[in-house]
Amino acid sequence: MFLRRTEVTEEELNRIVLVEGDEVHFVQAPKSKNNAQGQLDWSLLLALKNAILRNVFETDPEEVRSKCIDVGFYDKNNFARNFKKEKFKNLFKGALVPQGNAVALSPNGQDALGELVRSLAGEAK
């Protein structure tokens, strides 16, 4: 459904994601110049990971925090505030709250994920 909705091809998806059993590895990662965009990109990619593993497009805010710390997009002072910005709120069916429950992507979020996948796949060529 996601591929049809966003017009992402399996080839594009395979350029950025490697699935080995119950593990999902991103072989192409966002290279944003600012933390807020990096956090947004990873929140979308982690929703993709959950869709692959559990068949639900949702993001856990603490999983995003951990990933952002690992890849250098964590901004302790603004992390929670970034999730309250319109840019984020429009992409999820609820608020991403630190230590809160996972939140599903909205249709706009799935569209944004599709754009991100296509962009990263283009960089992988």
Contact 52, 97 (CB under 8 A): no
Domain-by-domain residue ranges, the chain? 2-123
**Rounded-to-integer distance, Cα 56 and Cα 92, Å:** 13
Q: What average pLDDT does the segment 53-59 reach? A: 94
pTM as predicted: 0.92
109-119 confidence digits (pLDDT tens): 999 999 999 99
86-109 confidence digits (pLDDT tens): 878 899 998 888 888 999 999 999
